Amino acid sequence: MEATKHIAGDRGPRRRHSLRLLEDVGAIVTHASDLHASLQNIVETVAEHLGMEVCSLYLYDVEKQSLILWATTGLATASVGRISMGVDEGLTGIVIQKLEPVMAIDAMAHPRYKYFPETGEERYHSFLGVPIVDQRQPLGVLIVQTSRRRRFTHEEVRLLKAVAIPIAGILAQCRLQARLETTEEERLAYQQRMVAAMDRLRDYETAAPHRPSTRPASHARLVGLAASPGFGIGRAHIMDSEINIDDLPRERKHPLKREMQRFHTAVARAVDELERTKERIRSTVPEIDAAMFDAQQLMLRDGSFLTRIEALIRDGLSGEAALQQTVNEFVEQFAGLTDTYLQDRAADIKDIGQRVLRHLLGVGERQRPFGSGIVLVAGGVSLSDLAMVQEQDLKGVVLAKGGVTSHASILAKSLEIPTVVGAEHAEEVIREGDQLIVDGNAGVVYVNPRIEVLREFDRLEREYRAFNRELETLRDLSAETLDGHRVRLCANIGLLADIHLALMHGAEGIGLYRTEVPFLSHRDFLTEEEQVDLYRRVVQGMGGRPVTIRTLDLGADKYPHYLHIPREDNPFLGWRSIRISLELPDIFKTQLRAILRAAAAGSLRVMFPMISSLEELHRAKELLAEARAELRDADEPVPDEIAVGMMIEVPSAVFLVDHFVKEVDFISIGTNDLIQYVLAVDRNNRKVAPLYEPLHPAVIQMVAKAVRAAKAAGKPASICGEMAADPVCTLLLVGLGFSDLSMGPFFIPVIKRLIRSLTFETARRLADEVVNLSSVKEVKSRIFEAMRDLGMIDIMEMYH
């Protein structure tokens, strides 16, 4: 989008945006009644308009020659009024000393940087501070910060200086109020009252985590990574919150018989809830191991567990206190065992404890007082967590952690739920019941958005839906250029539920079936029969269309809990993928036998991931031959031939691709891993994610080398990474000569529209030109120019 605006050269919208910020700040100053609330409103408004993660305001105390934090969004709110520094300390002090803007691309590397642990500001690197001055007298400092190391533009500096002018008036009033606090004792007493009030508020929110917050709406804009496209608007539901019973009475208030009845009713409701959840998961996401809920039901019926709670109730404890004490005892016992499987049961005990506790308090686990239309907010969620929520109620997902290739993200894409991951501070900023807008295209979350933002997103969503309705008319048409060049568009899937979406969006086959998804939720490796059943259902569900099954790609961030390995300093470069399979040949051959047996049901290909040497490829093919021989010895029907392919995901595979294409029937380029290995960038790491660039010349040249080698050998070449789903990359990939593009089902219609809007000759000429460019800027400029000439800018804007 930024590049598009740059090409267009239209500064009008930017100017109107700046004016609106100044108008909003001016309105706050004009109608200020409560100074502290007004200052807080100002910093939130500045952060939202400028897209900054932190905006803070420091008041300058002339007599003490110090700066005090008076308002902030992004830093810990408890630090307001507590953080104080001299004018000879910190970057903020330099602003006052020089009375001019101070910028630092990496603030922590600056010799004047002063660190306050209680603010949580260690995650922010770039710093820009401007002085707030009235009649040449310093009143304070306005600061913005970002986690990404960046240089602030001249326009941003000018705008922040302009914003400081109306703030000067209200800060003059702040100085007057500060003088009225004549003694240190009064100031400390005031702060202690405020801290006590905030502690009481936190205790109230902790004791009732599912009750919408009654605090004034706090506006915020959180930036993360776009994991699943689309727009979603709903009320926040904090997934990971636990009920704290510290403030509840420990002594039993009811007669013994009634307290026992309360407890047994809560247990019965928890068992019923587990059964309903298990059945829902079995019907919607069969890959997830529903047996985990059977284990929890057994625990709730366990005699020793129930007997201990009943005994404590007889001794005079309330049901809540007896439950909590028993859970703590069992968790401690399990955690102290050496058997890792039993250690894992501690988490089950805690989970069922919370489940029963909610029913004791009359709060169902998924009960939401604001009805349907929720947005899940969590640090991270598992596949089973996400599957337990009714799909029709779920409007979006916001995760503070995780990456766009995590399995929770994969499931969200399967359900076509807008999702933003890596949204730092989400758990601190968002409260239960907050209104949220989840922009899964841009990776942005708006917290309690202003009416102007709601109106704009309502307009965008209408346009977005209309655009997708238009794309639906292309479902049964081929992806064919205007001059007759065909490209097969296939779907990447990880769940059986994806098959419906693949067919609905017009997929011509499955280019990548991720077999590891069910392994991650089960308690052990799937048996051969379980795998055969899954793979057959995929093949049969596609109705004769080709299906490419990738063998297990475990490792890095995708280890099942039952595969116990030592901690690795760099798991992405460690024991993962084909390396695990080759070291566990019995497990690997079980999967290969299952794939061969499922191949009898239709068109199926097998693909090996993360191959880095010919030795690895040869060994994988040997194990495949052994699996075939074992099936034939057992009189199992297996096809005489099955297409064998490999993924190109590491630089060594690119350099040896001329040799690899002689050994396989097809290749598929996994750009997600290839890009991070070529550029040495982990795209799930927010600090370096901006460096993850699919259109980097080095990446383009490697992709071009691989597809050229495949074409020279007469072998098909596909691309199955996120690059295939990016409209900006489509012209380049078509021009390079890929026979197949495989992507999330959602993106197939838009990529098909692009392909049907151009000629292969145009794409080929563009690819020939782009391959020889030497910078990302040159590459993007040339591609954007071509898209503008072809009238495709609307598509790029809609999906970026």
Catalytic residue IDs: 407, 720
Please spell the DSSP secondary structure of 99-138, one letter per residue. TS-EEESSGGGSTT----GGGTGGG--EEEEEEEEETTEE
Residues in CB range of 222: below 8 A, 6 or more apart: 53, 398, 420, 423, 424, 425, 426, 429, 430, 444, 445, 446, 447
Provide the residue type at 99 as one letter: L
Residues in CB range of 34: below 8 A, 6 or more apart: none
Quick one: 400 exposed, middle or buried, by C-beta within 10 A (0-12, 13-18, 19+)? buried
Contact 659, 614 (CB under 8 A): yes
3-class DSSP state of 12: helix
Rounded to 5°, angle at Cα 235 from 234 and 241: 135
Q: Which two tokens stand for residue 546?
A: 């080709």
C-alpha 59 chain-centroid distance: 37
Residue 189 main-chain phi, psi, to 5 deg: -60, -40
Question: What is the sign of the dihedral through the CA atoms of 402, 406, 411 and 417?
Answer: positive
Please spell the DSSP secondary structure of 312-353, one letter per residue. HHHTTB-HHHHHHHHHHHHHHHHHT-S-HHHHHHHHHHHHHH
Tell me the C-alpha distance between 123 and 121, whole Å: 5
Tell me the C-alpha distance between 623 and 642, whole Å: 14
The strand pair at 666-669 and 717-719 is best described as: parallel
Residue 607 main-chain phi, psi, to 5 deg: -135, 135
Tell me the C-alpha distance between 499 and 541, whole Å: 7
3-class DSSP state of 509: coil
Provide the residue type at 711 as one letter: K
Residues in CB range of 517: below 8 A, 6 or more apart: 287, 383, 407, 410, 494, 495
Tell me the C-alpha distance between 340 and 336, whole Å: 10
Helix 585-598 / helix 528-541 crossing angle, nearest 10 deg: 40
Q: Which two tokens stand for residue 463?
A: 């346009």
Residue 10 main-chain phi, psi, to 5 deg: -95, 110
3-class DSSP state of 747: helix
